[in-house]
Amino acid sequence: MLREAWTIAIETLSWMELRRLNERSALVRTTKQLGISNPQAMRLAYGLVVETTRRKNLIDKLVNTVVAPKKIGEYNQGIQAFLRLYVYQTRVAKNWGKIHLKEAESIASLGRAILGWEVMREVEPFLGFLLTRQLAPILEAASETERVALETFHPTWFVEYLTKLFGKEEATAFFKGSLNPPPTYIRVNTLAASEEEIVTKLATEGTKLEKVELLKYTYKVLELKAPLNTSPSLKKGLFYVQDKASCFATQAANPAPNSTVFDICAAPGAKTTFIAQLMSNQGTIISVDFSAKRMCTWQKETARMDTKIADPLVADARVSVPLVGEADLLVLDPPCTSSGVFAKQPSAKWRLSPKSIQNMSEIQLQMINNCADKVKPGGILAYSTCSITLEENEGVIEQFLKAHPDFKLVEVEPKIGVPGLNGLTQCQRLYPHVHSCNGFFIAKLQKG
């Protein structure tokens, strides 16, 4: 099992580097490619991949001091992945404490078995040094900003960016809060059964829940007897695994029964299914997404969750929103840099750059501008992202309001987050270190 797990982990990290895939997508691709279906091996591999990726900058810094004058990026993908996993397992997972030589030797043997003797020969002499190289001198030699970046596992430029945006104290709190994934939340589906019945049913399965205050149907998972993806209740559509912030964004949009809702960037279905639930399956939802593949998932999810009032449309909202008529409510959750979900998806922070923030904000502005004429007079346009950057959130809203003076910001209810920045206090922001959920931004705009 251990060899299978390490084989999956090495190959998954390699795909992530080669194709800029996230952890889960790369793992799915790897297990299909290797034909490995052992759930224990897959779980172990996924944990190794996520925790190694979370600390990539610090691990690479340590490796580079040992393999100098070469750098880790100059080796082939398999070696890069092995070295990172080796340092994580032998040093980081041990909290940089006592060295376990037998474990290190066993991991080296795994590397030879998986990658081959010839491939490993180039880095074999460095493995002992990686076990003994001390971290303190590396941190002491770094600038203050780089030291924070290394200690909290974030890109140095992003540390500078958030420090300017939030101030040093709040930025550091955010970085530390992004080190551990937030709790798991679920939304119980009252289209399938009553809220009380579902909570009772889950209790019999060994799932202990705690209701989230002010949010409808939303619960924090406290204890699990078995993984949620194996729950019979999940297959029956009794609940949806959905972060608290995402549930809040949909509830804040306040879809009403017998109304018309346009759900833009709708796949894989979390928003659509919750909108339908809040509408009691009465009214009309048109769900739009550019990806036919993701819309296949949307169809499965809407069927599982007993959503009966939603119709799919494959279209690219960057180009246009090809819908006839106007909506009482238009919900837009555009692609974003995912800077609010670094704790769950650490690979996102290493793909992020100042240029990618700018590029993404331009796409978001195109989308929201294309949505403006699809909202009825008096109707609502609800905008949200799982990013915490200024450009993708308040920056987009400010530019939209300048171009569309017939829209105005209205209050987001309930008051769960903190006010938006740049004076846009009607908006709300949520942060991992404050609200124990993904980072999120929510704005509501009413058309005059």
Q: What residues pair up with 219 in beta bridges, in sequence order?
A: 186, 211
| Alpha-carbon gap, residue 243 to 390, rounded angstroms | 22
CB–CB of 315/290 below 8 Å?
yes
**Residue 67 burial (10 A CB sphere; 0-12, 13-18, 19+):** buried
Phi, psi of 349 (to 5 degrees): -70, -25
Alpha-carbon dihedral 163, 164, 169, 170, rounded to 10 degrees: -90
Helix runs in 207-291, H state only? 232-235, 244-253, 270-278
What radius of gyration, in Å, describes the C-alpha atoms of the chain?
Answer: 23
Q: Is 386 a catalytic residue?
A: yes
CA distance 226 to 4: 22
Calpha distance 197→203 (Å, rounded): 10
Spatial distance between the Cα atoms of 91 and 145, rounded to a whole number of angstroms: 23
Catalytic residue among 247, 265, 336, 386: 386
Q: Report the distance separating Cα 152 and Cα 433, nearest Å.
A: 13
Cβ burial, residue 112 (10 Å; 0-12/13-18/19+)? middle
294 phi and psi angles, rounded to 5 deg: -65, -30
DSSP 298-355: HHHHHHHTT--SEEEEE--TTT----SS-EEEEEE------TT-TTT-THHHHH--HH
CA distance 25 to 45: 13
Asked if 88 and 47 count as a contact pair (C-beta separation under 8 A), the reply is no
- Cα gap 447→432, rounded to integer Å: 32
Contact between 349 and 441 (Cβ < 8 Å): no
What single-letter amino acid sits at 402? Answer: K
Q: List, as one string, the DSSP characters of 98-141.
A: S--HHHHHHHHHHHHHHH-HHHHHTTGGGHHHHHH--SHHHHHH
Tell me the pairing of strands 259-264 and 327-332: parallel
Catalytic residues: 386
